[in-house]
Amino acid sequence: MDVSVAICLLMLVFPLLLLVALLVKLTDGGPVLFWQMRVGKWGKPFRFPKFRSMVINAEEIRARLLEANQHGDQGITFKMKRDPRVTWIGRIIRKTSIDELPQLWCVIRGDMSLVGPRPALVSEVARYTLENRRRLDIKPGLTCIWQVSGRSDIPFEEQCRLDAQYIEEQSLCADIRLLLKTIPAIITGRGAY
């Protein structure tokens, strides 16, 4: 089901993808997509695309910004409400989650599912506790329970707790509910930065 829905969604949003790609390119001439290695089911790494929402040298600037980490000194995840590295178009596509649409390709490839814990960075997984590693028991998803409950405003340990709850209660009905709740979460933009 995931692959069929992802293909339909990709066809539906294709004109939007072209427009966003053009705007990202015109912003500073840099690459349209930002690629990272993320960790999938059972710890398998995969290449993960997003529309680039930051300046070209964002990773260099990140080191100087670590003290402003929204998630405090636990430092497993790095979040800033007003990240100075984000471009004008980046603010828009992040707030609306349009930057995540290229990940539909990961669903089609089989690396991701529509619903599941969000895929973590390799550096984040290296700092996981044994309990946190439960997130790797299933395919990561485009959306998850904490994405519809406050997104980046949710502290890391709460994200892990909600992901564990989803893994325990996973069902087609739960997935459909989460997919439907994702729409208002995107529209309101709560916790998106």
Q: Reply yes or no on whether the pLDDT at 154 is more than 60.
A: yes
Do the domain assignments include residue 122? yes
> How many domains does the structure of the chain reveal?
1
Range of the domain at 151: 2-188
Do the domain assignments include residue 193? no
Q: Reply yes or no on whether the pLDDT at 93 is more than 70.
A: yes
CA 21/CA 102 separation, integer angstroms = 10
Do the domain assignments include residue 21? yes
Confidence label for 190 from pLDDT (cuts 50, 70 and 90)? low
Span of 2-11, 12-21, 144-153 with lowest mean pLDDT = 144-153
Do the domain assignments include residue 76? yes
More confident residue, 152 or 177: 177
Do the domain assignments include residue 26? yes
Do the domain assignments include residue 39? yes
Do the domain assignments include residue 74? yes
